[in-house]
């Protein structure tokens, strides 16, 4: 469903509005032209008129007519995903059943069962992340069931989300954060897995624009400033390659494209380097016009020509020709050293591979027609069906399990007979055992990887050959859940543990029954409920289990607690405690539009604490998160946990900002790297304590091979003060880098 905005910025009159709507609709028809069969145009027109009529009184938050949103979603489906007429009709109708008087019966009457099923799927998942956490997991399961039933549902949902991200400017700040977090947490990885690289990249960039606006603007500005120099470099790099490829008689297009802002930022963080030091700001793409039977041969031929001209980095060769990714991606990637001493990534693929890379699943279907073998998407869907049909998951763990199992990149591992198994990156020998068969996984005691004995927690890599060692005496253990990553393994381990727990609980059940009968109490539902509450157990099974393992001592049960067969425990008297005044959770949730000022006049009315995971200080972009029992916890919007909190628990997020208060100091830290020089520590402490009058809490310096690395914990009043300190330290001679760090552990 389309998001709601608060800044009206739209002022067309009624006549101009009608013209605009008609222009957009005609533009959609033009995009669809090559896919229209006789009668299709009428069906699309009926869907458009139905949606336009249903949404006629509705407006988007920017003030524009709502119907423009479904038209835009339909255009994304056609132009950017490569879907056809049925998906266009579903896109036009995707919000009608939920938001207007139109019913599924109306859709069925006009368009039949296929379209009704897809619209129903879209309606069911429209509010996926606007509810509490366990409900969200349920809704996400609905998405996946529909995905495996008809993947067009999720493709249209991705188009819907992309258009909402493109039009997020008119939204309130906290809505922008919440929607961006959901997008980067679930939708971008899903787009990636569906093979929609362009959509995944744009979603990540747009999310970053709202979640880390300063960094986003800074990288965008630097990319714009270096464009001329980059273009010159690309042209000079490409020229000798073009000549070689033409002489070899291969028909190919060669061009350079910049990497996304989000991927550049990830590289900067991962390698702890500045923008100027990120070597692969762009990639060279070579698209070959090859017939299907010569595709592989031509790609390797071009690879050979490139490596004749430039030296390759052997460890950076990626061969997705022999083993395509699970989302259908095929290509050959290599990184070579240019004549200017810079590494450059080169991607080689054919036109068919390029279409699959850009249109993902939709293009895969197009090329699959007439082929008998099961494709990788089908295998992926089958794995999802298998996991969901057998797994009881009603918690937020489901989403995390799904992300690690089905949205991660994959590795290829071989059985002793040479069969290939696809597993997510980070999978262990135990994940592999469960991938072969649940019964094998449950009995696994070890494995041989490339003929060497390893423990079951051993992480696998692409190309490993794995042999599983089992024993009939082996049983699943709680510890196994700490290192397996696939949903299948986690589900089966949990099932085994539940079964084991149930068997142990049966012993506790009989022990409890005997005890109750011994003190003249009934073994009844009423008494079991009373015992469950008294011993603070979530269920009867847990109560029996705790009795069986002797965590609950039945000697505590006395005859004086029993009246007429019913247990009546003495009611505990609660001591009266003075509590600090604070706003209850439900009131916080209701006051979402109220701006809570931290350290202003209202600070004494709210119980709050600063999150340890990101150590916010005044001036940081922050949000409040309602924590059970702790009142409000303040997190930075770029906190490592922010994405998960904002996307999973949006209803518990409160808009928050700082008020100036120079009397309170906040603990933070900086990490300094520089040349090891006499007196360097003295210079640093003089600047911090002497010139800037900042209190140092702790200081550690470690010198190694001419470099020193230092951590300084210090108290600052706000971000302004910290920024000035970082700037002054960076300007000191011999200092290489200065970074803020926020976690409890020391980074050196």
Q: Which residues are catalytic?
A: 98-99
Is 433 exposed, middle or buried (CB count within 10 Å of its CB: 0-12, 13-18, 19+)? buried
Which residues neighbour 110 within 8 Å (Cβ) at sequence distance 6 or greater?
46, 47, 50
Would you state the structure tokens that stand for residue 103, as one six-digit string?
């019913």
Q: Where does 519-608 have alpha helices with state H?
A: 525-534, 540-548, 585-590
Long-range CB contacts for residues 611-614, cutoff 8 Å, separation at least 24? 611/635, 611/636, 611/639, 611/641, 612/743, 612/744, 613/639, 613/640, 613/641, 613/742, 613/743, 614/638, 614/639, 614/640, 614/641, 614/642, 614/742, 614/743
3-state SS assignment for residue 708? strand
Residue in the block written with tokens 């309602």:
626
Residue holding tokens 């599983």? 468
Q: Specify whether the CB–CB gap between 181 and 207 falls below 8 A.
A: yes
Facing residues of 695 across strands? 715
- Which is nearest to 615 in space by CA: 721, 715, 724, 697? 715
Number of CB atoms found within 10 A of residue 126's CB: 18
Distance CA 65, CA 19 (A): 12
List of long-range contacts for 203-206, beta carbons under 8 Å, 24+ apart? 203/161, 203/162, 203/165, 204/260, 204/262, 204/263, 205/260, 205/261, 205/262, 206/165, 206/166, 206/168, 206/180
Q: How far apart are CA 590 and CA 43, in angstroms?
A: 44
For the record, the structure tokens of 500 come out as 């084991």
- Rounded to whole angstroms, the Cα distance separating 184 from 179 reads 9
d(CA 645, CA 651): 10
Rg (CA), the chain: 30
d(CA 420, CA 383): 15
CA pair distance 332, 295, nearest whole angstrom: 11
- Cβ distance 559 to 519 under 8 Å? yes
Q: Which residues are CB-contacts of 681 (< 8 A; sequence separation ≥ 6)?
A: 699, 701, 710
- Which residue, 747, 620, 730, 736, is CA-closest to 673? 736
Give the closest residue to 489 by CA, choosing from 416, 411, 436: 436
Closest by Cα among 704, 710, 716, 718 to 739: 710
Residue 424 sits at φ, ψ, to 5 deg, of: -70, 155
For helices 14-32 and 68-75, give the axis angle rounded to 10 degrees: 20
Kindly report the number of other CB atoms within 10 A of residue 37's CB atom.
9
Longest dimension (CA), the chain: 100
Beta-ladder partners of 711: 671, 700
* 3-class secondary-structure state, position 198: helix
What secondary structure letter does DSSP report for 130? S
Residue 257: CB atoms within 10 A of its CB come to 11
Residue with tokens 């949205």: 407
Give the separation between CA 574 and CA 707, rounded to whole angstroms.
60
Q: How far apart are CA 530 and CA 127, in angstroms?
A: 38
Within 489-615, strands assigned E span: 562-563, 566-567, 596-598, 608-610
């Amino acid at each position: 469903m389309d998001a709601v905005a608060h800044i009206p910025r739209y002022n067309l009159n009624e006549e101009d509005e009608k013209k605009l709507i008609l222009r957009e609709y005609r533009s959609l028809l033009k995009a669809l032209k090559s896919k229209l069969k006789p009668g299709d145009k009428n069906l699309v027109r009926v869907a458009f008129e139905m949606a336009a009529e249903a949404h006629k009184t509705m407006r988007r938050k920017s003030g524009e007519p709502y119907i423009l949103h479904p038209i835009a979603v339909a255009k994304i489906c056609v132009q950017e995903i490569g879907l056809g007429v049925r998906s266009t009709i579903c896109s036009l109708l995707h919000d009608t059943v939920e938001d207007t008087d139109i019913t599924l019966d109306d859709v069925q009457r006009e368009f039949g069962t296929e379209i009704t099923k897809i619209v129903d799927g879209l309606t069911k998942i429209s509010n996926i992340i606007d509810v509490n956490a366990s409900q969200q997991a349920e809704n996400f399961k609905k998405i996946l069931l529909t995905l495996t039933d008809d993947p067009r549902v999720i493709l249209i949902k991705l188009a819907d989300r992309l258009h909402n991200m493109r039009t997020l400017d008119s939204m309130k700040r906290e809505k922008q954060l919440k929607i961006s977090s959901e997008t980067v947490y679930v939708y971008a990885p899903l787009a990636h897995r569906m093979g929609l690289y362009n959509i995944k990249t744009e979603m990540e960039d747009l999310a970053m624009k709202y979640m880390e606006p300063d960094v986003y603007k800074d990288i965008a500005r630097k990319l714009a400033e270096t464009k001329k120099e980059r273009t010159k470099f690309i042209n000079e790099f490409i020229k000798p390659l073009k000549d070689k490829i033409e002489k070899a008689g291969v028909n190919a297009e060669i061009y350079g494209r910049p990497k996304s802002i989000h991927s550049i930022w990830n590289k900067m963080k991962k390698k702890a380097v500045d923008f100027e030091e990120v070597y692969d700001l762009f990639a060279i793409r070579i698209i070959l016009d090859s017939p299907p039977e010569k595709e592989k041969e031509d790609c390797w031929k071009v690879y050979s020509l490139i490596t004749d001209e430039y030296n390759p980095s052997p460890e950076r060769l990626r061969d997705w020709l022999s083993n395509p990714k699970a989302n259908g991606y095929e290509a050959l990637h290599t990184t070579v050293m240019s004549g200017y001493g810079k590494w450059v990534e080169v991607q080689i693929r054919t036109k068919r591979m390029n279409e699959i890379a850009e249109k993902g699943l939709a293009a895969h279907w197009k090329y699959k027609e007439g082929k008998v073998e099961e494709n990788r998407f089908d295998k992926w869907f089958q794995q999802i069906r298998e996991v969901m049909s057998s797994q009881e998951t009603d918690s937020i763990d489901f989403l995390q399990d799904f992300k690690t199992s089905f949205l991660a990149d994959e590795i290829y591992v071989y059985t002793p007979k040479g069969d290939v198994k696809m597993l997510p990156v980070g999978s262990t020998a135990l994940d592999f055992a469960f991938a072969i068969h649940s019964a094998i996984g449950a009995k696994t005691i070890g494995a041989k990887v490339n003929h060497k004995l390893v423990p079951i927690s051993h992480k696998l890599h692409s190309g490993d050959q794995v042999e599983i060692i089992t024993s009939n005496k082996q049983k699943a253990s709680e510890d196994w859940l700490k290192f397996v990553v696939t949903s299948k393994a986690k589900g089966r381990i949990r099932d085994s543990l539940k079964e084991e727990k149930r068997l142990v609980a049966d012993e506790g059940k009989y022990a409890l029954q005997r005890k109750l009968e011994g003190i003249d109490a009934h073994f009844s539902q009423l008494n079991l409920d009373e015992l469950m509450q008294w011993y603070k157990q979530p269920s009867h099974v847990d109560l029996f289990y705790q009795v069986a393992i002797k965590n609950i001592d039945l000697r505590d049960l006395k005859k004086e607690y029993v009246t007429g067969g019913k247990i009546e425990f003495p009611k505990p008297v609660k001591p009266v405690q003075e509590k600090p005044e604070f706003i209850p959770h439900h009131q916080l949730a209701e006051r979402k539009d109220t701006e809570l000022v931290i350290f202003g006049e209202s600070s004494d009315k709210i119980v709050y604490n600063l999150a340890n995971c990101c150590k916010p200080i005044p001036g940081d972009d922050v949000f409040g998160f309602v924590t059970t029992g702790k009142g409000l916890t303040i997190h930075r919007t770029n906190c490592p946990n922010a994405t998960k909190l904002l996307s999973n628990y949006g209803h518990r997020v409160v808009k928050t900002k700082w008020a100036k208060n120079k009397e309170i100091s906040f603990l933070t830290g900086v990490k300094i790297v520089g040349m090891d020089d006499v007196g360097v520590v003295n210079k640093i402490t003089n600047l911090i304590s002497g010139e800037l009058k900042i209190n140092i809490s702790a200081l550690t310096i470690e010198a190694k091979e001419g470099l020193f690395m230092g951590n300084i914990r210090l108290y600052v009043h706000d971000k302004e003060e910290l920024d000035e300190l970082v700037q002054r330290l960076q300007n000191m001679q011999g200092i290489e880098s200065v970074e803020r760090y926020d976690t409890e552990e020391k980074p050196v």
